Amino acid sequence: MARELTIRILRYNPQDAVNGNNLRPRFQEYKIEETPSMTIYLALTKIRETQDAGLAFDFVCRAGICGSCAMMINGRPKLACRCLTKDLPEEIVLLPLPAFKLIKDLSVNTGVWMDEMSKRVESWIHTSTQTDIAQIEEPIEPEVADAVFELDRCIECGICVAGCGTKLINEDFVGAVGLNRVARFECDPHDDRTADDFYELVGDDNGIFGCMTLLACEDTCPKHLPLQNKIAYMRRKLATVKGS
């Protein structure tokens, strides 16, 4: 027998206040029949197609690659396209990710935050070397390339930010995703920056020394990045700069 799922979704459109409507955030309940291999994304799509065309949520790839469909599912940040309903109880509560600007319902604007974070940690190669695209690219050791690629797998879904207690307490904290970007360029041999340079970017309580090591970022990361190992490594490295 297929289960009947009760899905409670936080509904709110900030634009209502601009338009003079006094609608407050509210939970709306939907009931749907569970189907084999149903994900939260498929459940939301079914609700929008058959019950409520005005329900807002984000998606693009449906394959756990774009990170667009991240939301709070029964209190934990997850990707809706990768979360199977069979792994959840019959009552499911969905909320938008905290720490990001709400667009409507389950849709939040992670793009603006990620763009500002990228500029803040100067997320690009810093080098004085002139690149000649007519020449063969300078090789690097395979293990170094693997280390850089491992950190480059971040899809910037915002899950580590939403699950971080430090970020929810300190709005200016750069978050694990920002510290991951710093670690990515620190191990890239194409980048000329020193530990002193990285210290200037994140060597304070809003950066590497603000992390309280709650482990939520690594526990919830859908790509299973070694976030805590890299944060601990960067903290030790930058602490030597502070000590000197």
- Tens-place pLDDT, residues 56-91: 999 999 899 999 999 999 999 999 999 999 999 999
The token pair that represents 166 in the structure block: 């430090």
Count Cβ atoms within 10 A of the Cβ of residue 138 and give its class: 0-12 exposed, 13-18 middle, 19 or more buried.
exposed
Q: With 80 as the cut, is the pLDDT of residue 105 above it?
A: yes
The token pair that represents 143 in the structure block: 């293990």
Q: In terms of Cα–Cα distance, which of 55, 76, 58 is closest to 66?
A: 58
Question: pLDDT band for position 132 (50/70/90)?
Answer: confident
Single-letter residue type at 84: L
Question: pLDDT band for position 50 (50/70/90)?
Answer: very high
Q: How far is CA 159 from CA 62, 68, 210, in A?
A: 16, 10, 18
Single-letter residue type at 127: T
By percentage, how much of the chain surpasses pLDDT 70? 97
Residue 18 contacts residue 31 (beta carbons within 8 Å): no
The token pair that represents 193 in the structure block: 């920056």
The H or E element containing residue 92 is strand 91-95
Tell which CATH architecture fits domain 4-108. Roll (3.10)
Q: With 70 as the cut, is the pLDDT of residue 137 above it?
A: yes
User: What are the residue ranges spanned by the domains of the chain?
Assistant: 4-108, 121-128+140-243
Reported pTM? 0.92
CA 195, 150, 223 angle in degrees (round to 5)?
120
Q: With 80 as the cut, is the pLDDT of residue 120 above it?
A: yes
Residue 182 contacts residue 121 (beta carbons within 8 Å): yes
Q: What is the pLDDT at residue 242?
A: 66
Is domain 121-128+140-243 given the CATH code 3.30.56.10 in the classification?
no
* 34: phi then psi, degrees, rounded to nearest 5: -70, 140
Q: With 60 as the cut, is the pLDDT of residue 52 above it?
A: yes
Q: In terms of Cα–Cα distance, which of 102, 6, 87, 16 is closest to 51?
A: 6
How far is it, in rounded angstroms, from Cα 184 to Cα 176?
Answer: 12
